[in-house]
Chain A
Amino acid sequence: MFLQVILSGIVVGGIYALVALGFVVVYRSVTMFNFAQTEYYTLGGMLFATFLARYQLPLVLAVLLTMVVAALVGILSERLAFRRLLLLGARPANLIIVSLALAVVLRSVILLIWGTDARQVPTLGNNPIEIAGLLVTPQQIFILGSTLLVVALLHLFMHRTRLGLALRATASNRTMAGLMGVPLTSMLALSFALSAGIGALGGILVAPILLAQYSMGQAILVKAFAAAILGGLSNVQGVIVGGLIIGLAENLAGAYLSSAYKDVVAFAVLLGVLALRPSGILGGRTEEKV
């Protein structure tokens, strides 16, 4: 039983980490929390459900198309909701309020398009395979594999490409990056596109086991937020650790205490870590602003 609990904690933690990664990508480049992040996740689930079930697109095409559309919505969000404020150097509190408003707008649009009904999304496989006494479904393997792949690709993008370098430079010192010829507006658009695309992938991965529904983003918001905070907000590895800690904590609490304590324990862990290490689990590597 213990290992089975750990396994499902890891799978859930992987999803939290993926959504939290979206938070971090934007936070790194503009030092703000985009609370609309989980709406990209909802959008991912809904679009994926539509592409697969309604238009019968092949899986890979549906995944790619969903991520591209979500990325475009991310770019639009940045352009219409945030850019002016970011260029004017608005205070973080104002940006947060705008992001909350954006979340409401996106959720309303999702409601208008898809309504309140949950949608069924075919899984890659829900019949468990037994590995060393553990039951694993193909969908769970797909979730874990995709999360690892995305983290690896993101790491490569950030550290091996010219655009990734420019993004990191912008995150490190926005003014100086501009003076080096890195166009700030493109970097903002890029980070929103990336974060929305990653968020949508989270939605794609969970839709088959949780049903795609307009409220799925609200349901995961607090957990993903906690994972991002735990991870220290600025590095990718930290977010993975943060997501896994939340996922494991709540699953262990649910299994050995009661499901009523799942959330309580997850947040107690968050508060405990913040009290001991205010900059997160892998803290100390916060971006230096000169």
Chain B
Amino acid sequence: MSTKALWASAFLAAAMLSPAAAQSQQPPVLIGVVGDFSGPVAPYSTAALQGAQVALDELNAAGGINGQRIQLRPYDDRNDPVEGATIAKRLGDEVLSVIVTSGSSPALSMGPVLNRAGLPFITTLSSNPAVTESGWKYANRLHLSDRHQIERIIQHALDTDKLTKIAILYDTSDLGVGGRNIALKTLEKRSVKPLVVEGWKQTDADFSSQLIKLKSAGVEGVIIWGAVEGAVRIAQQMRALALDKVQIYGGGGLVSQKFIDLGGSAVEGTIATWAYLDTSTPIVTALEKTFESRFKSKLDIFGAQGYDALRILAQAISTAGTKPSDRPKILEAIRSMKYQGAVGEITFGPDGENIRKIYIARLKAGKFSVLD
């Protein structure tokens, strides 16, 4: 195929994606969206891609980036870290910048590859601290990190609830152990010594030996960090040992219908960090309307983060430039911007971690609502 024909087909594709920018003579700005579009976390990745598509239409309708259209290229990693790394290797040649909507394990396999290629990227689903703590200069996160969530929940327990007798229960997965380490360090900074620190395996059935320790230590609050099923079992067995007065604290993973359905009355009163989407702001109200009429599904935090991620990239590119050599400047622009988006006011720290308000939610009468 000749170069001319290539351009022609690219235009054709662009025309179908974005009719408003069809007249433009310049080549489009290409943004890659990697995610799991056919595997176990497909609902979250897909929501983020859809959010980005809404932002894309708005941006192109408003003239794109300095007159240049933006185009999205989706890549399916099927939540497979090997597939993720393979895709990441191609991206440096194919797109200017990347939105990673994958779960933690492909996100972590892509991180070093994207970083080596010098591609600024924003992750919208992984909460694993390693995304911003592995020294990958080009990494940015637009989601709650476990570190921030744990620091926030501990702050709530110590300062708002005024508890001092704290226990930590964690599952022995990467997530759980990572969470335990952060919690220990956070408590140490506050000079609080946890009374009980115990792990559980995801296959474990019986938690009585851990919980009896909680009981004899007279614990007032327990931070449970791990998979939802384990947290539910613990809550139910706490009740069997008359530990129902002990406050349960957890992470954003617990704020789900699954936790509420499985746990029933045993998990009532649970307090957790929440990647909350405030639907009362005008920007979210408008986004919700467009999103829901276009995709026939409800806008959630992941859709909103996908929307914001593309807007952040577009804003950065518009100040930095659209050539591959402008990528370091794009990164700089992301780090120095103060962005007001669907998920609220966001800035990025020097490590690429997003800094935003983390909400605290409480489960009451079978429904989570914002406490703080």
Q: Which residues of A contact B (CB under 8 A)?
A: 1, 4-5, 8, 11-12, 15, 117-120, 123, 126-128, 135, 137, 139-140, 206, 209-211, 213, 215-216, 218-220, 250-255, 258-260, 262-263
Contacts and interface: CB of A to CB of B under 8 A. Distances in A.
A262 B241 CA distance: 20
B200 A259 contact: yes
Given A127-B240, A128-B240, A135-B242, 18 more contacts: A1-B216, A4-B212, A8-B212, A12-B205, A118-B232, A126-B239, A128-B239, A128-B242, A135-B240, A137-B240, A139-B240, A140-B240, A209-B240, A210-B233, A216-B205, A220-B205, A251-B209, A252-B209
Nearest to A252: B209
B264 interface: yes
Interface residues of A: mostly helix, strand, loop or mixed? Answer: helix
Contacts of B198: 258-259
Nearest to A262: B209
Interface SS majority for chain B? helix
Given A12-B205, A255-B209, A211 B199 contact: no
A253 B206 CA distance: 13
A1 B212 contact: yes
Contacts of A209: 233, 236-237, 240
Contact of B229 (A126, A211, A251, A260): A211
B209 A211 contact: no
9 contacts: A4-B215, A118-B232, A118-B262, A123-B236, A209-B237, A210-B206, A219-B204, A254-B210, A259-B210
Interface of B: 198-201, 203-206, 208-210, 212-213, 215-216, 229, 232-233, 236-237, 239-242, 258, 261-264, 266
Contacts of B236: 123, 126, 209
A219 B208 contact: no
A126 B206 contact: no
Which 7 interchain pairs have the tightest Cβ spacing? A254-B209, A8-B208, A219-B203, A255-B209, A137-B240, A259-B198, A1-B216
Nearest to B240: A137
A251 B206 contact: yes
Contacts of A262: 209
A105 to B, nearest CB: 21
Contacts of B208: 4-5, 8, 12, 251, 254
B199 A260 contact: yes
Contacts of B200: 259
B239 A118 contact: no
B232 A8 contact: no
Contacts of A211: 229, 232-233, 262
Nearest to B172: A260
A210 B205 contact: yes
B80 to A, nearest CB: 17
Contacts of A251: 206, 208-209
Contacts of B232: 118, 211
A90 to B, nearest CB: 31
Contacts of A139: 240
A251 to B, nearest CB: 5
Contact of A126 (B212, B261, B266): B266
B267 to A, nearest CB: 11
A226 to B, nearest CB: 15
Contacts of A254: 208-210
A262 B205 CA distance: 12
A253 B198 CA distance: 12
Contacts of A119: 262
Contacts of B199: 259-260
Nearest to B204: A219
Given A126-B239, A140-B240, A218 B203 contact: yes
A201 to B, nearest CB: 16
A253 B209 CA distance: 8
Contacts of A123: 236
Contacts of B209: 5, 8, 250-255, 259, 262
Nearest to B232: A211
A219 B205 contact: yes
A15 B229 CA distance: 20
Given A220-B205, A259-B200, A213 B266 contact: no
B181 to A, nearest CB: 15
Contacts of B264: 120
A106 to B, nearest CB: 18
A254 B200 CA distance: 10
Contacts of A250: 209
B262 A4 contact: no
Nearest to A251: B209
Nearest to A261: B209
A12 B264 CA distance: 23
B261 to A, nearest CB: 6
Contacts of A210: 205-206, 233
A45 B44 CA distance: 30
Contacts of A258: 198
A127 B264 CA distance: 14
A120 B264 CA distance: 9
A262 B199 CA distance: 11
Contact of B213 (A140, A215, A255): A255
Contact of B241 (A4, A215, A219, A255): A4
